Amino acid sequence: MIKFKELLNRFEPFPFKDFRDEIKSYQKKDKYSYIGPDGEIYDIRNELNNLSGKRWLFFLNSVEITNYPTTGEESYGHELRKIHPSPKPPQLMKKIIEFFTKEGGWVLDPFMGVGGTLLGASLCRRNAVGIDISSKYVEVYREVSKKLGLKEQIAIVEDGRNIPLIFEDIGEFFDLILTDPPYSNMQARPKTGDKAKKLGKSFSTPFTDDPRDIGNVDHRTFLQSLKEIIEKAIPYLKKGKYLVVFTKDLQPNKENINLLHADIVLTLSEIKGLTFKGYKIWFDQSQNLYPFGYPFSYVSNQFHQFILIFRKEI
């Protein structure tokens, strides 16, 4: 079993940096507020991040609309990362990390996939640890990181259920847990839409065929498995810090309305000391419209995902 302490001894982290360490170079405005070199106002009571009040305010918008390119330099290796069914844009992960941590802070992703969180951390000089059961995905992350000339973060091929063994004796170490787990068994379900019609057969795109993959199990088992992994990760998150989880609802059917985001909120809220604080909706404009249900019934093109935000209170 890989031990994080051993990997940490060989890792050169980004140094911690708090804007308050340079507050003497800022212009005092009032008791708590200072005007920074960029002309923006900073509050010295800010323990969470290094953002000005203006940038903090912008992040509070509950809808995040993006149109990140999937080709060229600004795609951040998407041509390689797209082997994963749902790779997250490093630019978006960077924005989230910058709000919930200070420079040099530590981020954990127990479902790292092809490393969107880790790439985002490197882009904003944070340190990160990613875990995934797929060695293929981890290798793609390393290849992309090298290609982009970014700092390679700590990536571990392992089952997230083994988090207590990996992080044995490190205590409350992380400033943020940011992760994008499977959306129940959405990817493992047979696809019957436009692409399937063109191929003349249904198909599925599971994350892996590994029996440990929680994206290949039924809905109830998925929720309990997700809870188990997150519950094992929470002891290594600092008190007062945040857990951020991406998810997407499934199409409703006769058996279930499939509001997966609500099911995840209810399930993770059962974890002692973890409090749900709200969500952001990510609208990805780079996706294409498909005529689902045409010409018989309404079937939504779900272009949005939920970014669920929890806080560790104790």
d(CA 271, CA 228): 9
| Tens of pLDDT, residues 16-44 | 999 999 999 999 999 999 999 999 999 99
Based on the structure, what is the number of domains in the chain?
1
Q: End-to-end distance of the chain based on CA atoms, in angstroms?
A: 29
Q: What is the pLDDT, as a whole number, of residue 195? A: 58
Pick the closest to residue 69 from 308, 298, 287, 263 (CA basis). 287
Q: What is the CATH number of the domain that holds 304?
A: 3.40.50.150
Q: What is the pLDDT, as a whole number, of residue 197? A: 57
User: CA 122, 65, 105: angle at the middle one, nearest 5?
Assistant: 25
In a domain, 45, yes or no: no
Query: Do residues 271 and 28 make contact, with C-beta atoms less than 8 angstroms apart?
Result: no
Q: What's the rounded mean pLDDT across residues 207-220?
A: 92
Query: Do residues 141 and 88 make contact, with C-beta atoms less than 8 angstroms apart?
Result: no
- Altogether, the residues listed in the chain come to a count of 314
Query: Do residues 142 and 155 make contact, with C-beta atoms less than 8 angstroms apart?
Result: yes
In a domain, 262, yes or no: yes
In a domain, 35, yes or no: no
Q: What's the rounded mean pLDDT across residues 49-62?
A: 98
192 has pLDDT over 80 = no
189 has pLDDT over 80 = no
Q: What is the pLDDT, as a whole number, of residue 205? A: 74
Ranges of beta strands (E only) in the chain are 27-28, 33-35, 41-43, 63-66, 106-109, 127-132, 154-157, 174-179, 237-247, 274-284, 304-312
Pick the closest to residue 90 from 143, 132, 144 (CA basis). 144
Query: Do residues 29 and 35 make contact, with C-beta atoms less than 8 angstroms apart?
Result: yes
Cβ contacts of 57 within 8 Å, gap of 6 or more: none
In a domain, 150, yes or no: yes
Query: Do residues 9 and 22 make contact, with C-beta atoms less than 8 angstroms apart?
Result: no
Q: What is the pLDDT, as a whole number, of residue 204? A: 61
- Biggest CA pair distance of the chain: 69
| Tens of pLDDT, residues 68-84 | 999 999 999 999 999 99
| Tens of pLDDT, residues 267-302 | 999 999 999 999 999 999 999 999 999 999 999 999
Helices H / strands E in the chain, number of each: 10, 11
Per the structure block, which two tokens stand in for 295?
């010409």
Residue 207: pLDDT band by 50, 70, 90 thresholds?
confident
In a domain, 242, yes or no: yes
Residue 185: pLDDT band by 50, 70, 90 thresholds?
confident
In a domain, 123, yes or no: yes
Q: What is the pLDDT, as a whole number, of residue 206? A: 85
Question: With the CA atoms of 117, 123, 124 and 125 taken in that order, what torsion angle do they form, in degrees rounded to the nearest 10?
Answer: 100
Structural domain harbouring 266? 4-14+50-312
In a domain, 42, yes or no: no
d(CA 276, CA 279): 9
Chain-wide mean pLDDT for the chain? 94
Taking residue 302's Cβ as centre, other Cβ atoms within 10 Å add up to 12
In a domain, 26, yes or no: no
Residue 191: pLDDT band by 50, 70, 90 thresholds?
low
Pick the closest to residue 260 from 272, 270, 273, 246 (CA basis). 246
| Tens of pLDDT, residues 89-133 | 999 999 999 999 999 999 999 999 999 999 999 999 999 999 999
